[in-house]
């Protein structure tokens, strides 16, 4: 018999696990994703566990595994949409300003260490787990499409080279971000976004 009183999602304390019978699937799924997001911010990717998420969401561990086969897959479904919501899709009418806004917000992830840890963890899992890799690539492609459209508008307005290789240009936008995030040879600094934008566009403008 379905649970008739699941109650609201609790952000701080574990809920009583729902056991037996059919669980109201959408309610349970929403609770699991909310619990995952909360625990990521509190404890970070490394300390997050399926058991902890299940306890926070008030569901059985088997319920979590029914939808997500690994921690990385669960975190991707919780973390990916949150990143997309926080990141702008600017359209100010000026390619340089749009890119500056985007890069500034992108670099501001360093203000949230647990999110940085999650990105590093997801990237690592995508290299090691063939089952998870397509989901990570799908999310990365969504973010790439935002930048590709930003640059394509610049091409249409005559701000950028009409023969611009968009795929390569998008690589140039995200390359420094991921390289500094993963290798850590230099810091990611949101105050450098304007300078990075200017240097990048100097090579992409109409000649």
Report pLDDT digits (tens) over 122-142: 999 999 999 999 999 999 999
* Structure tokens given for 80: 């990916």
Residues 94 and 128 in one domain: yes
Region 176-197 average pLDDT: 96
How many folded domains does the chain comprise? 2
Interval 22-38: pLDDT, tens: 446 888 999 999 999 99
Q: Which of 9, 38, 67 is the last residue of a domain?
A: 67
Q: Is 207 within the bounds of a domain?
A: no
52 plus 80 within the same structural domain: no
**23, 40, 67 — which closes off a domain?**
67
Question: What is the C-alpha to C-alpha distance for residues 163 and 176, in angstroms, rounded to an integer?
Answer: 23
CA distance 150 to 161: 14
């Amino acid at each position: 018999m379905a649970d008739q009183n699941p109650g609201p999602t609790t952000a701080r304390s574990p809920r009583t696990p729902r056991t037996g019978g059919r669980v109201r699937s959408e309610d349970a799924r929403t609770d699991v994703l909310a619990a995952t997001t909360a625990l990521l911010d509190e404890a970070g990717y490394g300390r997050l566990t399926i058991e902890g998420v299940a306890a926070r969401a008030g569901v059985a561990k088997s319920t979590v595994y029914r939808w997500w086969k690994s921690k990385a897959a669960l975190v991707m479904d919780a973390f990916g949409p949150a990143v997309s919501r926080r990141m702008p899709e600017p359209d100010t009418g000026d390619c340089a300003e749009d890119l500056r806004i985007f890069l500034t917000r992108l670099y501001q992830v360093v203000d949230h260490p647990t999110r940085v840890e999650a990105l590093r963890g997801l990237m690592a899992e995508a290299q090691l787990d063939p089952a998870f890799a397509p989901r990570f690539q799908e999310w990365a492609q969504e973010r790439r499409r935002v930048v590709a459209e930003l640059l394509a508008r610049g091409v249409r307005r005559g701000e950028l080279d009409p023969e611009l290789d968009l795929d390569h240009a998008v690589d140039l936008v995200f390359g420094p971000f991921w390289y500094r995030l993963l290798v850590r040879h230099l810091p990611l600094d949101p105050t450098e976004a304007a300078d990075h934008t200017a240097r990048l566009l100097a090579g992409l403008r109409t000649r």
